Amino acid sequence: MARFIAVRLAATLLLLLALSFIVFGLLHLTPGDPARNLLGPRNPSPEALAAIREKYRLDEPFLRQYFLWLNDVLHFRFGTSIRSDTPVTTLLADRVVLTLQLALMSFVLTVAVGVPLGIAAAWRAGSLFDRTVSVSSVIGVGAPSYAVGLVLLYVFGVWLEIFPVYGSGDGGLDTWWHLVLPAITLAFGIGALAFKVTRTAVASELQQDYVAFAYSRGLTHSQVRALVLRNALIPVATSLGLVFGFLFGGTILVEVTFALSGIGGLLASSVTFKDIPVVQAITLITAAVIALTALAVDVLYYAVDPRVRQRGLR
Amino acid sequence: MKRLPITPLVAAVPLAVVAVFVVGAQWLAPDATTQDIYTGVTPPGTDGHLFGTDQLGRDIWQLSIAGAGSAVIGPIVIAIGSMMLGLLLGTLAGYIGGGLDLVLSKYADLLLALPTTLIALVVAGLVDGGYWVTVLVLLVLFSPTDIRIARGAVMAQATRPYIESARVLQLSRTRIMFRHILPNVLPIALATMLLNVAFALVAMSALSFLGFGVGPGTPDWGRQLSDGRDLIGQNWGAVVVPGLLIIITAAAINLMGDWLQERFEQRGAQR
């Protein structure tokens, strides 16, 4: 157990290190002089250029710059936004709640709709119901959230006027109400994924010998169902953990579509504006959240399922 | 689970239509980029514009036909390119094994663990290289899945009796790899490639929706959507037409790929 966790932890740390290198490299990958890029579109004075070179240590060798930057990042010093001249951490703190609200709401939707449908479809595998939902899920997994979002926006926002069209409301319940359409949009694709995972897990569990055995011993349908569900839901739960990571990444498009002022929307506009410190911070934090969720899920899987422990993971 | 063979037939219809759009854009939509700023936005049905016009007075329907090219060609290049990369590296990793396998697998693991959309957005957006740079970035980000699939398929083939006979016949390693193993891996590769086209289509259009990828003024579904978002109250066609085109095309490719994959898997299981 300890060995397994240590290996996974080391792998995650390596991944994050590689990622931080890429993220740091973004500054130098962006066309043009990094110092000018960091000063934004204003025409900089030589003093300002010298100051920014000093501040970002641009005259140091590349690797030294990287390690000094990494040290800052590890202390949560992400620098100052070029566009708004505020510390990046302040910018993020102002927006993170909305993004979390959105992610949470669509996660609940995903679990509440995708999982039960998956169980029901596997239970009646091959039926018209199963085929209909399965084909729909293929469409749902592939459907781009921004297109789905805009079509929903038109139908429910503009045409039927049930939901607000843009923005995140005045806080409290109003914000939740503004998040309904975005959350449905986000849950559309991810719910389809949850459906697929659940259906596969339950269906393959139903093929196991113990199910036939349980039936032949005269257990009732609902007793067998309880047995199967308990076993099938372990992989489902772990993949839902992974889905949460994807959800966080998926918020970018949905936030832009619905003009929500969350982290994702900030990232998109910061990339356009080449506000590099903000882009670096968001990319790194989001990727770290996803990697750490994956780590947690793996460890949890390992702890919960004795079969995995015996086989060893991968 | 057995599906009716109707699925691929139903999926083929929209794909054929899109193919006609791509090939025949200049005849079907000769006025796609003709602007008429005095008229500006009009709702569907105005003056012979079936789905109305956008803020520059361009005909939405013709613009959507002209946009099929940039929506589909890049993704096809991505899917083919990343599969070629995947087959080459995956075959080498799977058949030769050893240290090479370890390095290639770790490389694939690393890329696979990165959040694809996020990295593509950030790199393509900051580099500002336009359409083909975006294609290249996505091609690299897509390759690890293909490396893994090719590697797995090759390793499954390598234990089969016919490979053993080939080895006994003292055929060269290269010959066995590329003449005997590769053709048997191709069906799975083809199905995966099709699914990748759909993913790439969604990803590319997402990037141009966010304003990266194609240049301003180029007919493109993703860009149409971001323009149309602001016109949603005046002309629903500007959003609904490109939106549905992306959804339907992606769905059709996915259904086709899914169906192929299932068929090939069944065939493999029967052997």
Among residues B205, B246, B237, B223, which one has the least CA distance to residue B60? B237
Q: If we measure between CA atoms, which residue out of A139, A207, A29, A179 comes closest to residue B249? A: A139
List all residues 6 or more positions away from A156 whose beta carbon is below 8 Å from its beta carbon: A162, A163, A181
DSSP state of A87: B
Least confident of B124-128, B190-194, B242-246: B124-128
Task: Please tell me the distance in Å from B233's CA to the nearest CA on chain A.
Answer: 7
Residue B160: DSSP 8-state: S
How far is CA A142 from each of CA A135, A136, A252, A273, B195, rounded to the nearest angstrom? 11, 10, 17, 30, 9
Which of A62-76, A79-93, B42-56 is predicted with the least confidence, judged by mean pLDDT? Answer: B42-56
Q: Nearest by CB to A143, from B117, B232, B247: name it.
A: B247
Per-residue pLDDT at B270: 45
Q: Do B128 and A31 touch (CB under 8 A)?
A: yes
ipTM score for this prediction: 0.79
Nearest to A121 by CA among A225, A22, A200: A200
Q: Per-residue pLDDT tens for B161-181?
A: 888 888 888 888 888 888 888
Which among A148, A150, A159, A313 is the top mutation candidate for probing chain B, defined by the most B β-carbons within 10 Å of its own β-carbon?
A: A150
Query: How many interchain CB pairs under 8 A, A with B?
Result: 136
Minimal Cβ distance to A249: which of B117, B212, B246: B117
pLDDT at B4: 56
Least Cα distance to A295 among A243, A249, A241, A250 occurs for A241
**Average pLDDT over all residues of chain B:** 83
Which has more confidence, A308 or A37?
Answer: A37
DSSP string, B158-194: HTSHHHHHHHHTT--HHHIIIIIIHHHHHHHHHHHHH
How many distinct structural domains can be found in chain B?
1
Residues in Cβ contact with A180 at an 8 Å cutoff, skipping those fewer than 6 apart: A105, A163
Each residue's pLDDT tens digit, A122-163: 988 888 899 888 888 888 887 888 888 888 888 888 788 777
CB contact under 8 A, A26 and B125: no
Q: What residues in B contact A271, CB-CB < 8 Å?
A: 121-122, 125-126, 210, 212
The pLDDT tens digits of the residues spanning B239-256 come to 888 888 998 999 899 888
Closest approach of chain B CAs to the CA of A138, in angstroms?
Answer: 6
Contact call for A256 and B110, based on CB within 8 A:
no
Is residue B41 within 8 A of residue B52, CB to CB? The reply is: yes
Residue with more model confidence, B149 or A55: B149
- Residue in the structure block whose two tokens are 């010298």: A50
What is the distance in angstroms between the Cα of B7 and the nearest Cα belonging to chain A? 9
pLDDT at A152: 87
Q: Which two tokens stand for residue B146?
A: 């293909």
At residue B76, the pLDDT reads: 94
Distance (Å, rounded) from C-alpha B199 to C-alpha B183?
25
In sequence order, the β-bridge partners of residue B59 are: B53
Q: What is the DSSP letter of A259?
A: T
The C-alpha of A21 sits at a distance from chain B's nearest C-alpha, in angstroms, of: 13
Here the tokens at position A162 are 């049930």
Assigned domain for B12 exists: no
Strand residues in chain B grouped as ranges (E): none
Evaluate whether residue B135 is within a structural domain: yes
SS3 assignment for A128-153 = HHHHHHHHHHHHHHHCCHHHHHHHHH
**φ, ψ for residue B239 (rounded to 5)?**
-100, -45
SS3 content of chain A, % helix, strand, coil (to 5): 80, 0, 20
Residue B267's pLDDT is: 62
Residue B271 has pLDDT above 50, yes or no: no
Residue B113 is assigned to a structural domain of this protein:
yes
pLDDT number for residue A311:
58
Which whole number is the average pLDDT over A42-59?
76
Please state the length of chain A: 314
Is this structure's pTM higher than 0.90?
no
Provide the shortest C-alpha distance from residue B132 to chain A (in Å). Answer: 16
**What pLDDT was estimated at residue A314?**
43
Inter-chain residue contact A294 with B236, CB threshold 8 Å:
no
pLDDT grade for A14, boundaries at 50, 70 and 90:
confident
What's the CATH number where B67 sits? 1.10.3720.10
Identify which has the larger pLDDT, A195 or B125.
A195
Q: Which of B7-21, B72-86, B117-131 has the lowest mean pLDDT?
A: B117-131
Q: What is the pLDDT of residue B73?
A: 92
Domain containing B91 equals: 19-270
Question: Is position B9 within any domain?
Answer: no
Distance CA(B104)–CA(A112), nearest Å, equals 39
* B92 domain residue, yes or no: yes
pLDDT at residue A312 greater than cutoff 60 = no
Determine the residue of chain B that is closest to A144 in CA distance: B202
d(CA A184, CA B202) in angstroms, rounded, equals 18
Whether B123 sits inside 8 A of A29 (CB atoms) is yes
CB contact under 8 A, B127 and A253: no
The answer to whether residues A280 and A27 touch, using CB atoms and an 8 Å cutoff, is yes
Find the range with the poorest average confidence among A139-143, A211-215, A276-280: A139-143
Q: What is the largest CA-CA distance in chain A?
A: 86
Which of the residue ranges A180-189, A205-214, A303-312, B145-154 would you say has the lowest mean pLDDT? A303-312
Is residue B62 exposed (0-12), middle (13-18) or buried (19+ Cβ within 10 Å)?
Answer: buried
Percent of chain B with pLDDT over 90: 10
B126: tokens are: 């900051």
Instruction: Please provide the average confidence, as pLDDT, over all residues in chain A.
Output: 83
3-state secondary structure of B3: coil
Q: Is residue A210 scored above 80 in pLDDT?
A: yes
Tell me which residue of B71, B147, B49 sits closest to B104, measured CA to CA: B147
Q: SS3 string of A167-225?
A: CCCCCCHHHHHHCHHHHHHHHHHHHHHHHHHHHHHHHHHHCCHHHHHHHHCCCCHHHHH
Q: Which residues contact B248 (CB under 8 A, 6 or more apart)?
A: B14
CA distance A176 to A179: 5
Confidence of residue A309 (pLDDT cuts 50, 70, 90): low
Q: Which of A141, A251, A255, A297 to mutate to test the interface with B (most CBs of B within 10 A)?
A: A141
Lowest pLDDT segment from A4-8, A260-264, A280-284 = A4-8
pLDDT, average across residues A236-262? 81
Structural domain contains residue B204: yes
B190 belongs to a structural domain: yes
Q: Is residue B265 part of a domain?
A: yes
Alpha carbon of residue B228 to chain centroid: 23
Ranges A9-23, A221-235, B233-247, B257-271: which has the least confidence: B257-271
Going by pLDDT thresholds of 50, 70 and 90, the confidence category of residue B3 is: low
Chain A closest CA to B171's CA: distance in Å? 33
Q: Is the pLDDT of residue A279 over 70?
A: yes
Q: Which residues pair with A87 in a beta bridge?
A: A80
Specify the DSSP element, H or E, that contains B74: helix B60-96
The rounded distance, in Å, linking the Cα atoms of A292 and A236 is 18
Mutation for testing the A interface, residue in B127, B229, B262 having most A CBs under 10 Å:
B229
Asked if A253 lies within 8 A of B210 by C-beta distance, the reply is yes
The model's confidence at residue B77, banded by pLDDT at 50, 70 and 90, is: very high
Find tokens 């396998």 and name the residue: B101
Give the model's confidence band at A313: pLDDT under 50 very low, under 70 low, under 90 confident, else very high.
Answer: very low
Which two three-digit tokens encode residue B20?
């006609």
In this predicted structure, what is the pLDDT of residue B266?
67
